[in-house]
């Protein structure tokens, strides 16, 4: 049976028509002082999960994630934490706070529409040391779209990234992991790394934080580690993340931060 991997954002309202509550959040983020940042870093001793190493991938048309492709070059017990569908003002700042508290660096696969709607939040994700990939401009089922619309969506999300961050992204994850031949060819021509997943916890489905943590433990044990799929656009994921990170630590897994040579190969 085909496994579902993804779901629309928590919001019922389309991003383009949501009221923007961002100015107040932006104020809250920018008042974080250097002293607070240093204090947070000092809090990350052996008790924190931390980030054990950085894996920098070249800009090349590789594809990773055992749901559809081969594994990343990870050691047993290593995990890469990824978030899709953001940024979203109601939940992404809570995700950032939980990651910072454990000194964990992750990869965020953003959609172009919310990236443009909440550009300051998108930039804050990168400013906190996380890496950024693309996840479509909107969040369509590409398999249902004609080739021209699939390519239009890719051009739109590339333009959004250029406007928000400058330059080009180096990694792409398909919405719903629905990879299509048309976009795979276009992505390979631009030497994007195609990122699938190794495991997820269906964090778009109603469940408690403990249920999510239990699933994570079972699936990490089965896979030995790998690419973990989560969604920063989900309130329940943001609420559960402190427990999920503590659970990863308690079971002895180590976090690897994935990065790309983003500026090479233009």
Q: Which residues bind Zn ion (CB under 5 A)?
A: 6, 84-85, 175
Nearer to Zn ion, 112 or 175 (CB): 175
Listed residue (130, 111, 108, 100) closest to 37, CA to CA:
100
Nearer to Zn ion, 88 or 249 (CB): 88
- Shortest reach from residue 135's CB to Zn ion, in Å: 6
230 φ/ψ angles, rounded to the nearest 5 degrees: -135, 175
Check residue 70 and report its DSSP letter: B
- Shortest reach from residue 6's CB to Zn ion, in Å: 4
Nearer to Zn ion, 93 or 175 (CB): 175
Number of CB atoms found within 10 A of residue 241's CB: 28
254 φ/ψ angles, rounded to the nearest 5 degrees: -120, 140
Nearer to Zn ion, 6 or 102 (CB): 6
Listed residue (229, 208, 136) closest to 174, CA to CA:
136
Nearer to Zn ion, 85 or 113 (CB): 85
- Shortest reach from residue 133's CB to Zn ion, in Å: 11
- Shortest reach from residue 120's CB to Zn ion, in Å: 22
- Shortest reach from residue 246's CB to Zn ion, in Å: 25
CA distance 73 to 57: 10
105 neighbors 130 (Cβ within 8 angstroms): yes
């Amino acid at each position: 049976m085909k496994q579902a991997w993804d779901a629309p954002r928590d919001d019922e309202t389309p991003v383009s028509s949501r009221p923007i509550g961002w100015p107040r959040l932006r104020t809250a983020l920018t008042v974080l002082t250097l002293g607070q940042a240093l204090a947070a870093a000092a809090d990350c001793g052996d008790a924190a999960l931390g980030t054990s190493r950085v894996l920098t991938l070249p800009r090349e048309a590789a594809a990773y994630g055992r749901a559809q492709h081969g594994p990343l070059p990870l050691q047993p017990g290593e995990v890469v934490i990824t978030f899709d569908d953001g940024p979203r003002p109601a939940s992404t700042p809570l995700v950032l706070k939980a990651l910072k508290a454990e000194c964990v660096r992750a990869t965020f696969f953003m959609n172009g529409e919310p990236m443009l709607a909440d550009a300051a939040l998108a930039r804050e994700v990168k400013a906190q040391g996380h890496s950024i990939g693309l996840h479509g401009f909107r969040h369509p089922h590409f398999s249902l779209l004609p080739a021209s619309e699939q390519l239009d969506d890719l051009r739109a999300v590339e333009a959004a990234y250029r406007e928000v961050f400058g330059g080009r992204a180096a990694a792409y994850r398909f919405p719903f992991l629905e990879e299509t031949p048309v976009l795979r060819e276009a992505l390979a021509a631009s030497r994007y790394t195609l990122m699938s997943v190794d495991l997820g916890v269906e964090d778009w489905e109603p469940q408690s934080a403990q249920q999510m943590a239990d699933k994570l433990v079972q699936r990490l044990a089965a896979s030995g580690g790998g690419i973990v799929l989560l969604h920063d656009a989900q309130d329940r994921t943001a609420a559960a993340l402190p427990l999920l990170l503590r659970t990863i630590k308690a079971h002895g897994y180590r976090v690897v931060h994935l990065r790309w040579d983003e500026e090479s190969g233009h």
